[in-house]
Amino acid sequence: MTSQARDMAAGFEAARERMIQEQIADRGVKDPRVLQALRAVPREAFVDASLRDRAYEDRPLPIGHGQTISQPYIVARMCELLGLQGQERVLEIGAGCGYQTAVLAQLAGTVYGVEIVPDLAQRACDNLATVGVKNAVVDCFDGTAGWRDHAPYDGIVVAAGAPRVPVLLLDQLADGGRLVIPVGPREDQVLTVFRRRGDEFESRREAPVRFVDLVGRYGWGGRGPAEA
């Protein structure tokens, strides 16, 4: 590694630490496993080269196709709300460039990511390989109906705003499992947590958020199972 490359790596590491402290820990995310997961994943590896100097800003960044890499705080909070301990099976809908997939892979046993845009799905796979993630896979299809092949899941996270809760995702939760999803109108969603208790579901509204649209049959422009 050249001295220039070492300086650049040290700069990114310092920026990552500032992000963890100022944007995440100071705003209430306290789970040490989540903070360590964010420390372990180089966010700069998941953004376009032209945006790497902005990788640790407190905002989402464009990744093409009208999609974004989520704000670091939101990634951290959604991961914390899943309450992972290390051995769980997790489904992520809206993998994008793979950043949150990589963070989840630090927290869970196995992560299954779904991305509907082929170019982004391939980019996520490439990025995960680049940073050495081996316990996560990303495939390309409409994830609004979940991924039944690997269900049930101890946690499901949806990184896109849904007009309603896709009931097929709830159906794929294991007993005790949690679904974290932004729900509501395009401009005014609420980050919501659902927890399965047998055949019942508890729900808790967390915070107002604004995500890109959940695209697919049971997202925006689609119809729910009861209407199909």
Annotated catalytic residue 70:
yes
CA distance 104 to 64: 22
CA distance 15 to 8: 11
Give the count of beta carbons closer than 10 Å to the beta carbon of residue 65. 15
Match domain 3-209 to its CATH number in 3.40.50.150, 3.20.20.210, 1.20.1540.10, 2.40.50.100: 3.40.50.150
pLDDT for 33: 98
Give residue 2's pLDDT band: very low, low, confident or very high (50, 70, 90).
confident
- Which of the pair, 181 or 187, is modelled with greater confidence? 181
Secondary element (H or E) of residue 179 = strand 173-183
Q: Give the active site residue among 3, 50, 70, 203.
A: 70
pLDDT tens column, 45-88:
999 999 999 999 999 999 999 999 999 999 999 999 999 999 99
The DSSP 8-state label assigned to residue 40 in this structure reads: H
CA distance 38 to 57: 14
Helix/strand/coil for 204: strand
pTM assigned to the model: 0.93
pLDDT tens column, 130-162:
999 999 999 999 999 999 999 999 999 999 999
